[in-house]
Each structure stands twice: as C-alpha cells, then as structure tokens.
Structure 1
Amino acid sequence: MGLGSGPSLSLSRASAPFLLLLVLFRSIGAVSFGQPSDSEFTFVLPPGTEECFYQSAGHNSSMELEYQVIGGAGLDVDFAVFSPNGESLVMESRRSDGVHMIEPTIIGDYKICFDNSFSTISEKLIFFEVIFDDAEDWSEILEPEELLDIKIDDIKESIGNMNTKLTKSVQIQAILRAFEARDRNLQEGNLGRVNFWSAVNLGVMLVVSLVQVYLLKSLFDDHRKVQT
C-alpha cells in the first residue's frame, strides 16, 4: 500500500485482511503529512508472513519506535529496522515488545519490518507507534520584540515544555492502552484454559466417585446361594 508523496508511513504490500485498524489514515489508499508526524497503528500479522512499513524522516531529527505484541499465541514477533541506505539498525528475534531511539536520522525512508514467519498457525495482533522530536525552530517564526518586557526565549521555553509534556502524556496513554489490550488477551486465554481443565477434573471426579460407589456396593453384596 503506497502512501502520499510527503513524509509518511506505508505498507510494503496491500493486504485488506491484514489491517485491523490504521489510525491517522485519511483513506485506505493514501495518507500524507506536511512534516514527519507521530503515528500509531494496530494491525494483524498473519502466520508465516512478514510485513514492512516505510517511514520517511528528515535530516538530524530524532525518531522513536515502540511496538508491542498484544494478541496471538506466544505474544512474540521478529522486528527489524533498516536505514535509507540499507544498513541494519535494529534486529530482534521473538520479542513481545521493544523501544528504540534512532538519532540523528538521515533523509530518506526507514524500513520497519515485523516477521511472523516462524509461526505456522497463529496470527499476531501488533501495536506500534513512531514518535518524532517535532521541536520547531521558533527563531524562524518569531522575531524578538525590543518593546516587550517578557523575553521571547522565556515564551519559547514555556511553550516548548508544555508541548513536550502534552505529547508525552498522549504517548503514555497509547502505551497503557496497548498494555491493557495485551493483558486482557492473556486473561481471556487463561480463563479458557482454566474452564477447560476444570471441566476435565470434574468429569474425572464424577467417574471416580461412581467407580468407588460400585466397588463399595459390590463388597456388601451376598453372593452365596440360598439352598432349599
């Protein structure tokens, strides 16, 4: 699935069943951003497949990648990141989550791959997000005003701190939602196993009880024949 011409995140190949949820997509076909933008995605990775995304980045910025496997047997996946020139930056095998910081970045498309080829029957539900350091150069936007008592630098620092805290809050909430989804899937799986084995144990107990009653009853039966 190709995305827009601007800096964006795209799939290596179109697969309709593969996408469960794509946040920030304007349409199924394309999405574009004026500048590298924070993005978060949740998708289904079928068994025996590998899917790659392409995220463009600017020069000398900071890009943070975080992923979590929130559903599927084993809750693990292979993860890899490649630079625009093909250099391997991150390579992880059978991990359930990970956080990686890439800085400074170079201009081009970074390749982000998730591999579930080691699994033959279990699909994986994966959440991941891309976070950019979107600090702006306020000196290009604002010019110092000599008549103002408050310095522009103080305003820049206050706004920057507020923006950083708000952005971090949104990121933490997204991470907590992913952890909640993974824990819920684990609990549902454990509940199914507990119910199954409880039913098996109950059946075994009933069979053993019936056998014991039969054996006790047979001990007290009088098998002697009454002679007439």
Structure 2
Amino acid sequence: MLQRQVFAWILPVLALCIGVSATTLTTRLSGNEISCYYTQVDSLKTKLKFFFAVNAGGDYMIHSRVRSPGGKIMVDNKFKQADYVFQPETTGEYEFCFDNSLSTWDDKLIDFEISVENDLRAELPGSSKDIETKTIEKHLESLDNKVGLVTTSMRYLKTREFRSMNTVRSTENRIFYFSLIEMILMISISALQVIIVQLFFKGSRASFV
C-alpha cells in the first residue's frame, strides 16, 4: 500500500518535470548586428517556448525571427518583448535570430529564454492511473500554471526595472552634460563681461587724453 502511494506521487511529478530543456541567456547586440541561436527538437510531442525582452538600448525595439528546420518562417516581428509557444511540425534544429539593423548606433541588451518541454504525460498508460493519481496530476498542473504566471510577472518586473534604471542613467547623464554646458556658458559670459568693461575703460581713458 505504501509503495502504491509513493508511486502515485512520483508518477505525475516525473510526468510533469522530466524532459524540460531550457536555456536562459543575456546578450548584447551592436548596431546592425545579427545574432542567431539554435535548439534541437527530437520529438513532435513537445512544446517549444521562446521569450525575449529588450532591457536597454535605443527605443527597445528588436527584430526577432524564428525558422523551422525546413526553412519555414514561424515568427518575423518587431517588438520590445514577446512570449511565444509553438507546437513543432517537424523535428530538427530550430533557429532563433535577433536583428538589430533597426539601430545604427544603439546597442541592445536582451534577455531571452528558449525551452523545449516534452509532453511525457501522453506516454503514460491510462489504465495505470487511479483517481488519486489523476487528482495529484490536476493539482500539479494547476501549480505549474501558477508558477508560469509568477515567472511571467517576474520577467515583466525585471524588464521594467532594467528599463527604469536605464532611463535614470540617461537622465543623470543629460543633467551632468547640461550642467557642464551651463557652467561653461556662465564662465564664458563672465569673461566676456570683464573684457567688455576693460575695453570700455580703456576707451574712456583714451578719450580723456
């Protein structure tokens, strides 16, 4: 009985957790630079997920493109951030590219994640599932969905934090340069006033002589 209960707990956990391959990266793209990444899909019983967010650089817009092994363009858009879920049509190597040709001078700092989730639950025999196991699976699916929502919220907050920090740094730089220009103008005007006064008194002395 104990072994059956343990098996009832382990089975759905393995079904939900095994076979998830994810890669989270941060990259910086220079102006007019194109960067591509690849992931291998070995089974059609998978979900291919692709998330990215531009944290810094220019207007935050980036051109993203996803290509299937057969050369089919699955995504070709320009966004600040996006979250895609695909059902692979063929197995093989999928290509994920970022194109920063929209910006000539601005670098882009991009966080992105590529994950391949194998749906192993479809391979479990239905006859071996009792009511308790199905109930546990439903709870785990609900938990997985909630974790996904929390992850999405954290990504959004992280992106907002990066962009806010970038705005603060940009504002600080502008204030510094404006203050520097203001100081130079004040010194220049003061020096010009002194020169004008000196010329005025020199002219007055010459007229008296």
Q: Give the structure-2-normalised TM-score.
A: 0.70
Structure 1 stretches lacking a partner, 5+ long? 1-33
Q: Provide closer, same or farther for how the CA distance between residues 106 and 169 of structure 1 changes in structure 2, counting only shifts above 3 A.
A: farther
Give SS of 2:124's match. Answer: helix
Is the contact between residue 69 and residue 91 of structure 2 (CA under 8 Å) also seen in structure 1? yes
Alpha carbons of 1:141 and 1:214: their partners in 2 closer, same or farther (altered >3 Å)? Answer: farther
Aligned length: 188
Q: Which one of the candidate residues 72, 90, 110 is aligned to 2:94?
A: 110
What residue is the counterpart of 2:33 in the other structure?
49
Residue 188 of structure 1, aligned match among 169, 185, 190: 169
CA displacement at 1:117 relative to structure 2: 4.1
Distance change in 2, residues 1:36/1:159 (3 Å) = closer
2:134 counterpart SS class = helix
Query: Which residue in the other structure is 2:49 paired with?
Result: 64
Identity %: 22
Note the alpha carbon deviations across 1:99-140, whole angstroms, 9 max, x for none.
Answer: 333235542222111123454544332111124556541871
Alpha-carbon RMSD across the aligned residues, in angstroms, is: 3.3
CA distance in 2, matches of 1:167, 1:180: 20
Report whether the alignment pairs 1:225 with 2:208: yes
Distance apart, 1:86 and its partner CA: 0.7
Cα deviation, residue 44, structure 1: 2.2
Give TM-score, length-normalised by structure 1: 0.65
Provide closer, same or farther for how the CA distance between residues 70 and 193 of structure 1 changes in structure 2, counting only shifts above 3 A: same
**Structure 2 partner of 1:30:** none
Higher relative contact order (CA 8 A, sep 6+): 2
**C-alpha displacement of 1:75:** 3.2
- Of 101-110 and 216-225, the range deviating more from structure 2: 216-225
* CA distance, structure 2, for counterparts of residue 181 and residue 195 of structure 1: 21
Consecutive unaligned residues in structure 2, runs of 5 or more: 1-17
